[in-house]
Amino acid sequence: MPNTNQCAKCGGSQMIPGVRVVSGSDYDIKLRVDAHPEAVVFKQAHRAVLSASVSGQCGFTEFYVDEPAALYEAHREARR
C-alpha cells in the first residue's frame, strides 16, 4: 500500500492506513483474476488481499491490493 499521509479529497492529514476490508464472517476480502478464465478447472486464479486507507476527517477511502503485480500478470496471461 502506498504511504498516504494526506487525503486525496480533503487534503487532511488524519489518515488511517492499512484498514482491513472484511466480509460478514470477518475474513479478508480478496480480489481474483484468472489467468485462464475459459478453463473449466485449473483457471490459475491469482488472489490479492484488499485493504484501505481512510481519511479520519472526511471519510474518503482508497482501496489497495497487496500483490498488484501478480494480478496484472494474470490479466495479461488471460488476454493472450
Tell me, yes or no, if the pTM score tops 0.85: no
Q: Could you tell me which residues come within 8 angstroms of residue 31 by beta carbon, excluding any fewer than 6 positions away?
A: 47, 48, 50, 65, 71
Extents of the domains making up the chain: 15-79
CA angle 42, 43, 45 (to 5 degrees): 115
Confidence of residue 45 (pLDDT cuts 50, 70, 90): very high
When the pLDDT of each residue in the chain is averaged and rounded to a whole number, the result is 93
C-alpha cell at 60: 474518503
| 45-56 mean pLDDT | 96
| 23-39 mean pLDDT | 93
Question: Do the beta carbons of residue 64 and residue 15 sit within 8 Å?
Answer: no
| 26-50 mean pLDDT | 94
For a pLDDT cut of 70, what percent of the chain falls above it? 96
What was the pLDDT predicted at 61? 97
